[in-house]
Structure 1
Amino acid sequence: MKLESHLPKQSPWLYITPLLNAILLLLVYFLFSSGFVVQSGITVEMPRSSSRLTGFDRAHIVTIAGGESAAMYFDGKLVTWDELRATLEKLRSGERRILLHADRFAPTGKFTEVSSLAMEMGYEVALSTTPTQPATAQR
């Protein structure tokens, strides 16, 4: 005995709409999540290193620009030495990690002073570097 359906045929859009909805949701997710990449907004040429340190993805970012003036930025905002000290003091109860984005041509003394200040206040300090390029195989 052959069974037949007596229901009317449905439009193919009924089956395509949930698929399009899922694709658009994924597209929106990837567009918004790309903004979560940690960047300070100040362009610096960081030193190269092959090592990698994890656990500093939510750290505060202190950027030291190159040149004689060596401007300092805390989380993208230009700060003076006294403002940096006050900000670090105020944020002691929160995230206690500092990621230093120091330009290759920034004065070493400024880098040392900032890292010493942060460590005196109980912060963990890490230097941000640019990964070295792996050697390419020769043919």
Structure 2
Amino acid sequence: MKLESTLPERPGFLFVVPAFNLFALLLVFFLLGPSFVSQSGVAVELPVSRFQLERQAFETVVTVRDDGPRGVSEFDPPTYWLEHEQVTLGELAERLDARRSSDTSPATTVLLRVDKGVPVEIQREVAEIALQKGLRVYLLGRPEGSRDEPEATD
């Protein structure tokens, strides 16, 4: 006695399941990929640096931004940013102190992103404010050989 199936063969579903898995993997990659490489703060043109910094535990990003061509005065002050919020130099000191004493996530490190056109004296002044609060300060730069355009941030 020979047993035969009366149903027609349809092997198409054997090709659909792996294609669906591949599609799901690509979807997850494109949705979660940018979150692994994003930086906080404001876009600035960083100077070139040969050193790389490992990810810090409780970092606070402070950005000092040169807002373009000078107007009437050659000494227009730059803008200061704490993460994504613009602050004055006095507010920066107060907020760094508040973050240092926070119970939920106490800041221990300041990542200082300084625009290429900002004078060194201003950079030093911001670093000293953070150091007086007992924070470690790291000055960020862009890798050698990278483009001169500002990097995109979220």
TM bucket (normalised to shorter chain) is 0.7 to 0.9
What's the TM-score, normalizing by structure 2? 0.70
Over 3 Å counting, the alpha-carbon distance change for 1:24 and 1:83 in structure 2 is farther
Once residues 46 and 101 of structure 1 are traced to their aligned partners in structure 2, the CA distance between those partners, rounded to angstroms, is 7
Query: What's the CA shift for 1:63?
Result: 0.7
**Structure 1: runs of 5 or more not aligned:** 135-139
Within the candidate set 110, 121, 125, 2:133 is matched to 121
Partner Cα separation in structure 2 for residue 14 and residue 58 of structure 1: 49
1:137 corresponding residue in structure 2:
none
Distance in 2, matches of 1:9 and 1:77, equals 65
The CA deviation at 1:101 is 1.0
How far 1:47 sits from its partner (Å)?
1.0
Unaligned runs of 5+ in 2: 68-75, 147-154
How many equivalent pairs are there?
132
Say which of 51, 70, 73 aligns to 2:81: 73
Q: Which amino acid aligns with 1:117?
A: I
- Counterpart residue type for residue 22 of structure 1: N
Higher mean Cα deviation, 101-110 or 19-28? 19-28
TM-score normalized with structure 1 length: 0.76
Q: Tell me, in whole angstroms, the C-alpha distance in 2 between the residues paired with 1:7 and 1:22.
A: 31
> Structure 1 6/50 Cα, relative in aligned 2: closer, same or farther at 3 Å?
same
Higher relative contact order (CA 8 A, sep 6+): 2
What CA distance in whole angstroms lies between the structure 1 residues aligned with 2:78 and 2:40? 15
